[in-house]
């Protein structure tokens, strides 16, 4: 009787483990698997982002966000990253040999070297959720090229040399080949798009109407305010 009860307990534990196990979206020959980012990996993900991503991603590197003088900006980034993680749509690249974290994908964040594989996994995740499209902001020339190879289309682009705050270029050291941030999207052909979509307004970013946001430049260019009154402008 006791043996039977113990067996049932073991079966229930095995079932619980399977339920809690992350969904694996793909594997790579180099010994990586791509799976849902679980709660137990959040701290490791933050460490990886601070150590690797913030020192390589062109916009964050350009403003030197990891400098102690920019502690407030770094803390805001970490806070936002943890919020995105809790949305349960992030991906982890895990080393099969020791189960350690090799990369993460939080919305547009990706670890160098495995970006294409993680982007493919993100497309599969989007498809499984019944979402008709996957979109992201790609901040490097390499990232935009990878997205283009996978069938992403470019819908908007902001050149770093034309992004100004208080009439000064913000991202002045983005590296060779990294000239813009591009909004790109991929239409999932297997998912039918809803006929009517509700448009949501962002609480953080507000784009003013053209009649209020544009000023005429002396050379015929227009200057548009972007953001929420922080002085950000894009020359078009």
User: Which residues have C-beta within 8 Å of that of residue 193, sequence separation ≥ 6?
Assistant: 132, 133
pLDDT digits (tens, 9 = 90+) for 101-113: 888 887 554 444 5
Q: How far apart are the first and last CA of the chain?
A: 78
Alpha carbons 12 and 48: distance in angstroms, whole number = 35
Query: Residue 94 phi/psi, 5° resolution?
Result: -120, 135
- What is the CA angle 17-46-26, rounded to 5? 50
pLDDT value of position 208: 44
Quick one: pLDDT band at residue 3, thresholds 50, 70, 90? low
pLDDT value of position 44: 92
Q: Is the pLDDT of residue 36 over 90?
A: no
Taking the model in full, what pTM does it have?
A: 0.47
Q: Is the pLDDT of residue 210 over 60?
A: no
Q: What would the two tokens of residue 127 be?
A: 């498809």
Q: Stretch 69-96: mean pLDDT, rounded?
A: 85
Q: Is the pLDDT of residue 5 over 90?
A: no
pLDDT value of position 46: 92
Q: Stretch 5-32: mean pLDDT, rounded?
A: 72
pLDDT value of position 17: 57
Q: Is the pLDDT of residue 201 over 80?
A: no
CB-count exposure of residue 164 (10 Å: 0-12, 13-18, 19+):
middle
pLDDT digits (tens, 9 = 90+) for 134-191: 898 898 888 899 899 999 999 999 998 888 888 888 887 777 788 899 999 999 988 8
Alpha carbons 5 and 18: distance in angstroms, whole number = 20
Q: Stretch 46-50: mean pLDDT, rounded?
A: 90
Residue 63 backbone class (left: φ over 0; alpha: ψ -120 to 50; beta: rest): alpha
Please tell me the CATH superfamily of domain 20-131, with its number.
Gcn5-related N-acetyltransferase (GNAT) (3.40.630.30)
In whole angstroms, what separates CA 174 from the centre of its chain?
18
């Amino acid at each position: 009787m006791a043996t039977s009860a113990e067996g049932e307990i073991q079966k229930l534990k095995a079932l619980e483990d399977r339920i809690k196990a992350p969904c694996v979206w793909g594997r790579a020959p180099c010994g990586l698997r791509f799976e849902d980012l679980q709660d137990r990996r959040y701290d490791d993900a933050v460490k990886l982002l601070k150590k690797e991503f913030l020192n390589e991603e062109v916009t964050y590197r350009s403003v030197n966000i990891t400098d102690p003088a920019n502690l407030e900006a770094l803390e805001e980034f970490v806070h936002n990253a943890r919020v995105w993680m809790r949305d349960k749509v992030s991906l982890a690249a895990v080393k099969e040999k020791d189960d350690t974290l090799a990369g993460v994908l939080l919305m547009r964040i990706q670890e160098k070297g495995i970006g294409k594989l993680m982007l493919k996994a993100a497309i599969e995740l989007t498809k499984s959720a019944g979402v008709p499209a996957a979109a992201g902001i790609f901040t490097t020339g390499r990232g935009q090229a990878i997205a283009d190879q996978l069938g992403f289309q470019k819908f908007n682009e902001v050149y770093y040399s034309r992004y100004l705050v208080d009439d000064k270029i913000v991202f002045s050291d983005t590296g060779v080949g990294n000239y813009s941030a591009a909004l790109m999207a991929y239409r999932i052909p297997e998912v039918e798009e809803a006929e009517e979509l509700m448009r949501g307004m962002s609480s953080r970013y507000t784009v003013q109407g053209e009649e209020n946001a544009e000023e005429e430049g002396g050379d015929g260019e227009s200057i548009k305010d972007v953001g929420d009154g922080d002085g950000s402008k894009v020359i078009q």
